[in-house]
Amino acid sequence: MQHTLTPSALPVMEAFYTLQGEGFHQGRAAYFIRLGGCDVGCFWCDVKDSWDAANHPLIPVEEIVAGALQHPGRLAIITGGEPLLHNLNELTTTLQQNGFETNIETSGSSPLSGNWNWICLSPKKFKPPVPEVIQLANELKVVVFNKSDFNWAETYAQQVNPHCELYLQPEWDKATEITPLIIEYIQSNPQWRLSLQVHKYLDIR
């Protein structure tokens, strides 16, 4: 079941102020806005409660932005779920009008909406990204679950624009096994960088 959304409200699972734990912006203070709804369905997803948008309250954009303004950081990260299931034009425009950088973390499986300072594309095998998002990605972050994912990651590395940052990230539950393989792979393929979910090691949100 999906919400019938008004232009000024979105299903918000949670919103919180923390540090970005992954990828290019790791370590920066950030306000996360996690939207409900996902049609990708990764079996190893750590936020499966986000999948059904109908389980989460519709919050007006002004209220979402007001929550972000309660904190001194001016980096807003829109995530999910799959945030591109929703029209994000009004949310991102309002955030930017209030001085925020707008970043998105997306599988890229739905058409792009919103005004973005940074697009982190994390493609999934369960539903591939649309070409537009691949071309516009600033960051390609591939979650590595098994050895075959390295070749799969390279197929997307060949499709992104030349300025896109490339990251390999171990799937959390297999990190002990996979991280040494990623380190070895990056040593042989230095165009890639390692992304670790530092927030989980630090036990913060």
Type of residue found at 18 = T
Q: What is the spatial distance between Cα 196 and Cα 198, in angstroms, rounded to a whole number?
A: 5
Q: Where are the alpha helices (DSSP H) in 19-174?
A: 61-68, 89-97, 131-136, 148-157
Rounded mean pLDDT, 53-81? 95
Q: What is the spatial distance between Cα 166 and Cα 94, in angstroms, rounded to a whole number?
A: 29
Q: What is the spatial distance between Cα 39 and Cα 83, in angstroms, rounded to a whole number?
A: 10
Reduced to 3 states, what is the DSSP secondary structure of residue 193?
strand
Q: What is the pTM of this model?
A: 0.92
Domain boundaries, the chain: 9-202
Taking only the tens place, the pLDDT of each residue in 106-126 is 999 999 999 999 999 999 988
Are 127 and 107 contacting, i.e. CB atoms less than 8 angstroms apart? yes
**Predicted confidence band of residue 40 (pLDDT cuts 50, 70, 90):** confident
CB atoms within 10 A of CB 121: 24
Are 89 and 115 contacting, i.e. CB atoms less than 8 angstroms apart? yes
CATH class of the domain at 9-202: alpha beta
**Predicted confidence band of residue 52 (pLDDT cuts 50, 70, 90):** confident
Task: Produce one character per residue of 33-67: b if its CB has 16 or more CB atoms within 10 Å, e if not.
Answer: bbbbbbebebeebeeeebbbbeebebbebeebbeb
Taking only the tens place, the pLDDT of each residue in 23-32 is 999 999 999 9
| β-strands 139-144, 118-121 pairing | parallel
Task: Give the pLDDT of residue 102.
Answer: 98
Task: Give the pLDDT of residue 55.
Answer: 86
Q: Where are the alpha helices (DSSP H) in the chain?
A: 61-68, 89-97, 131-136, 148-157, 175-188, 198-202
